[in-house]
Amino acid sequence: MAEPDDDLLHVRQNIFAAVLLRLAYLRGFEPPPERNFIGQRYIEDPAKVRCVIGALFMFPGEVEPFEYYERGVHVTVQQHGPILHVEIDRFISQLLWDDLRLLGEGQEFVVGYLSTLMPSLNRRLLDNRYMRGHLLSRTFAVFEAVDLHITVGSRRLWIHWPPSLPPFPPTVALSGLNLPTYVRDYIDSIAAYFRHEYDDCVRRVITATENFMDAHRWRAKPLSLLHNVLGMFSVRQKMGSSFRGRLRNNLDLTKISGTVLHENLLLVYSLRNRIVHNGYRMASNSAEFCDKAVISLYYLLSRHCTDDRVVEYLFTLHQQYFLHKNLLGQLLDLDRIARWNLAERPDGEILDVDDPEAMDEFFFGSIRFTDADRRSV
């Protein structure tokens, strides 16, 4: 058998690499389609290929192997020592697979596929904690996945994950502040959201709201007639103890910002009470609901806090939240993008960004809880 020609092999590899670089370059000059959205090439690709997406998590507890189906995707979970092995058996676009193996592009969509299934995975790990009483059964954010890979046939590719993010410079610049308790509660609500612990997220949002109202001495105004009747019988009133009353009497309900914050936080409050007192548990598809709850909390704090330095610090946390939320990959789930783009939507109106009232109408209208949000919990 003839010996392989190393020089010839090297030349061929260089030619192939040059062709791939040229393909990647030319793709940037393709004419734009009439309608363009993220992942469009992969969503509209009729050719599919079966793959297995795998990820590992460091798990100090112990859980029995389990499997389940979600939206036609088969998920299996097994444990080997302190390592939790998660495998997702599904079909993906042939174009996506080609881009992954030839150009190294599209890795964020693999993260998106994993991220979408994290809430249902974490729900089962919470069941292991509460139903079986395993105190070391913990939940995970998608950031904590290691050895993320995708396999088609006998070919396996590793995804560059997880990222290592430095401290957020604007927040670091404000470090050292004597932060009030409600800011720490706000941070904890975000951490619970990232771990998909939606029950805890709801509790943290309301705890932060209550601590904020206490710190700023928000009080509920008693009804004058009730006040007089109680006074006649020398009954002591718990002035300002009503969560609903304190919100109602300290938010400007003539503006959409106050109305939406009032409606949203009252709904979150009622859910918190059901969780704490009635054993209610949030559904695993409550991500959007909790996202709106966290954002509502931020705007309550930032618009009514009287300490400018704390407001500035809250703003940097809000920026981080949106940055990390994008890294979670939930916005890059091709299945979700496909459903969203196939849905019929009315043509949007032109928004006047110089009109504060129009901006408030647009923004607070977007975070107002919808009927779909209410059903999701």
pLDDT: which is higher, 29 or 326: 326
What is the band of 238 on the pLDDT scale with cuts at 50, 70, 90?
very low
Task: Give the domain extent around 192.
Answer: 181-306+344-376
Mean local confidence (pLDDT), 88-108: 94
Mean local confidence (pLDDT), 250-259: 94
pLDDT: which is higher, 271 or 17: 271
What is the band of 235 on the pLDDT scale with cuts at 50, 70, 90?
very low
Are 110 and 143 members of one domain? yes
Q: List pLDDT tens digits, range 50-75.
A: 999 999 999 998 999 999 999 889 99
Are 73 and 218 members of one domain? no
75 vs 117: CA distance, rounded Å: 9
pLDDT at 351 exceeding the cut of 70: no
Q: Is the peptide bond before 162 cis (omega within 30 degrees of 0)?
A: yes
276 vs 301: CA distance, rounded Å: 23
Are 227 and 359 members of one domain? yes
What is the model's pLDDT at position 122? 94
Count of domains forming the chain: 2
Are 255 and 370 members of one domain? yes
Q: List pLDDT tens digits, range 167-197.
A: 888 888 888 888 999 999 999 999 999 999 9
Q: End of a domain among 127, 158, 189?
A: 158
What is the band of 111 on the pLDDT scale with cuts at 50, 70, 90?
very high
Exposed, middle or buried by CB within 10 Å (0-12, 13-18, 19+), for 305?
Answer: buried
For every residue of 306-326, DSSP letters joined together read S-HHHHHHHHHHHHHHHHHHH
Mean local confidence (pLDDT), 111-124: 93
Are 95 and 233 members of one domain? no
Are 186 and 150 members of one domain? no
122 domain residue, yes or no: yes
Are 226 and 357 members of one domain? yes
Task: State the chain's mean pLDDT as an integer.
Answer: 86
Mean local confidence (pLDDT), 102-114: 92
pLDDT at 241 exceeding the cut of 60: no
86 domain residue, yes or no: yes
- Name which of 13-17, 320-324, 334-338 the model is least confident about: 13-17
Q: In what order do the strands lie in the sheet with 73-80?
A: 66-70, 73-80, 83-93, 48-58, 146-152, 155-158
pLDDT: which is higher, 26 or 269: 269
> Which uninterrupted H or E stretch holds 254?
none
Are 290 and 203 members of one domain? yes
